[in-house]
């Protein structure tokens, strides 16, 4: 058994392993290496384990994020929910982990963050504050519609009565999606991803990514980015304009996404991660989505508790409040340079 860095000629073998592994998420796919490097400019360390017959038996994608303000750390992977060590073998798991630690020490990283969707006994500090909200889908959208509560069906019809309509596309909907996304992120006080990130994802995954946009009088008012993998369709990014929220464009957005998922044969919709008890969590619950805990594990170079690099940290409160008051045009300019230094 040996662990080494990924090489370009490993691409097909790596992806075949991802396709057959039950522990893999879509973000283990080798094309995300290209997306992360081209979109954020950070170095990556994709680790590959092979048995004595040169068969792939484990993988670990890592990105090195570093800045003067937030420090230096390795993440698998930043900006996504679950991309941990992918293997079914506990010995391989430990070998990949030890190689990651060796790299972290060599690069002067302060910690490693492994984003897992499994509860593991790996000797690391664990934090579990987020759930992935997931809905098992029936075979047809008609069956799904009948399964929804009358109140939910009424909320879906409301934006349509206001003249709103939804479209599914890809590059043709990118500007509409990103315009809504930028406004929503500013309103939340969060730096925004660049348009380039989403353009790169669409280019790397032409057969499994889509954009859904809801319009009111040709103005995009809600939008979501969709990523499909195996039996699961995920909405890692979704936004709406607050001034239209009383009409419920998000309800039409998610119904259109759910209908697409059923029509394309997906068995689950992953609504993305939420904090239990918060508004987005309850919004997803009303569709019937069930919580799946996310487990993030930390190796700390000097021991101690895991870092608090998140918007709930009080020391970022002032910066968040200032960000909410900035013009959207300025946040579009500054946001990508800031967020690429965050996990």
- Express each pLDDT in 277-308 by its tens digit: 888 899 999 999 999 999 999 999 988 888 77
pLDDT band of residue 37 (cuts 50, 70, 90) is: very high
- Rg of the Cα atoms in the chain: 20
Q: What are the sequence ranges of the domains in the chain?
A: 2-128+295-307, 132-290
Q: With 80 as the cut, is the pLDDT of residue 342 above it?
A: no
Q: With 70 as the cut, is the pLDDT of residue 332 above it?
A: yes
Q: With 80 as the cut, is the pLDDT of residue 69 above it?
A: no
Farthest CA pair distance, the chain: 63
Specify the range with the lowest mean pLDDT, choosing from 62-66, 231-235, 321-325: 321-325
Closest to 193 in 3D by CA, of 239, 249, 134: 239
Q: CATH topology of 2-128+295-307 equal to that of 132-290? A: yes
Distance between CA 76 and CA 317 in Å, rounded? 26
Angle at CA 197, nearest 5°, toward 263 and 130? 70
Ranges assigned E (strand) in the chain: 2-5, 44-50, 56-67, 71-76, 111-116, 125-127, 131-136, 164-169, 209-216, 219-229, 232-240, 268-274, 290-293, 295-300
Specify the range with the lowest mean pLDDT, choosing from 9-23, 57-71, 232-246, 298-312: 298-312
Instruction: Note whether 235 and 224 are within 8 A (CB).
Output: yes
What value does the mean pLDDT of the chain take? Answer: 93
Residue 175: the pLDDT is 98
Instruction: Note whether 226 and 174 are within 8 A (CB).
Output: no
Give 242-279 pLDDT, tens digit per residue.
999 999 999 999 999 999 999 999 999 999 988 888 88
Q: With 90 as the cut, is the pLDDT of residue 109 above it?
A: yes
Q: Highest-confidence range of 56-70, 193-207, 300-314, by mean pLDDT?
A: 193-207
What would the two tokens of residue 60 be? Answer: 């670990």
Section 324-342 average pLDDT: 87
Instruction: Note whether 300 and 110 are within 8 A (CB).
Output: yes
Strands of 44-50's sheet, edge to edge? 2-5, 44-50, 56-67, 71-76, 111-116, 295-300, 125-127
Q: With 70 as the cut, is the pLDDT of residue 186 above it?
A: yes
CATH number for the region 2-128+295-307 comes to 3.40.630.30
Q: With 80 as the cut, is the pLDDT of residue 341 above it?
A: no
Q: With 80 as the cut, is the pLDDT of residue 156 above it?
A: yes
Q: How many helices (H) and strands (E) does the chain have?
A: 11, 14
Cα dihedral sign, 112-28-83-69: positive
pLDDT band of residue 343 (cuts 50, 70, 90) is: low
pLDDT band of residue 84 (cuts 50, 70, 90) is: very high
Which superfamily is assigned to 132-290 in CATH?
A: Gcn5-related N-acetyltransferase (GNAT) (3.40.630.30)
Q: With 70 as the cut, is the pLDDT of residue 66 above it?
A: yes
Section 327-331 average pLDDT: 92
What would the two tokens of residue 304 be? Answer: 């101690």
Residue 146: the pLDDT is 94
Residue 316: the pLDDT is 67
Distance between CA 72 and CA 217 in Å, rounded? 46
- CA distances 269 to 28, 261, 285, 329, Å, are 18, 7, 12, 33
- Whole-prediction pTM: 0.93
CA atoms within 13 A on the CB side of 261: 31
pLDDT band of residue 170 (cuts 50, 70, 90) is: very high
């Amino acid at each position: 058994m040996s662990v080494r860095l990924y090489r370009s000629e490993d691409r097909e073998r790596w992806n075949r392993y991802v396709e057959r592994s039950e522990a893999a998420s879509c973000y283990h796919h080798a094309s995300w290496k290209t997306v992360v490097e081209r979109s954020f400019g950070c170095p990556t360390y994709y680790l590959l384990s092979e048995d004595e017959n040169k068969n792939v038996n484990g993988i670990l994608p890592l990105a090195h994020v570093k800045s003067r303000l937030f420090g230096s750390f390795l993440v698998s992977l930043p900006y996504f929910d679950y991309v941990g060590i992918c293997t079914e073998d506990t010995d391989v798991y430990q070998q990949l982990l030890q190689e990651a630690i060796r790299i972290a020490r060599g690069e002067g990283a302060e910690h490693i963050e492994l984003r897992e969707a499994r509860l593991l006994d790996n000797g690391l500090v664990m934090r579990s504050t987020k759930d992935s909200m997931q809905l098992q889908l029936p075979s047809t959208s008609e069956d799904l519609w009948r399964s929804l509560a009358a109140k939910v069906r009424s909320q879906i019809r409301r934006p349509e009565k206001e003249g709103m309509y939804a479209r599914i596309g890809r590059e043709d909907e990118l500007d509409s999606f990103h315009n809504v996304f930028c406004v929503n992120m500013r309103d939340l006080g969060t730096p925004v991803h660049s348009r380039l990130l989403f353009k790169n994802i669409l280019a790397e995954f032409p057969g499994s990514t889509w954009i859904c946009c809801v319009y009111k009088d040709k103005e995009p008012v809600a939008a979501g980015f969709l990523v499909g993998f195996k039996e699961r369709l995920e909405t890692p990014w979704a936004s709406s304009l607050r001034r239209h929220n009383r009409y419920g464009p998000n309800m039409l957005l998610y119904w259109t996404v759910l209908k697409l998922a059923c029509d394309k044969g997906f068995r689950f919709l992953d609504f993305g991660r939420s904090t239990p008890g918060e508004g987005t969590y309850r919004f997803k619950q009303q569709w019937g989505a069930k919580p799946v805990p996310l487990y993030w594990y930390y190796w700390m170079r000097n021991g101690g508790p895991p870092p608090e690099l998140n918007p709930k940290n009080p020391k970022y409160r002032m910066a968040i409040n200032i960000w909410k008051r900035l013009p959207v045009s300025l946040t579009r300019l500054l946001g990508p340079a800031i967020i690429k230094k965050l996990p």
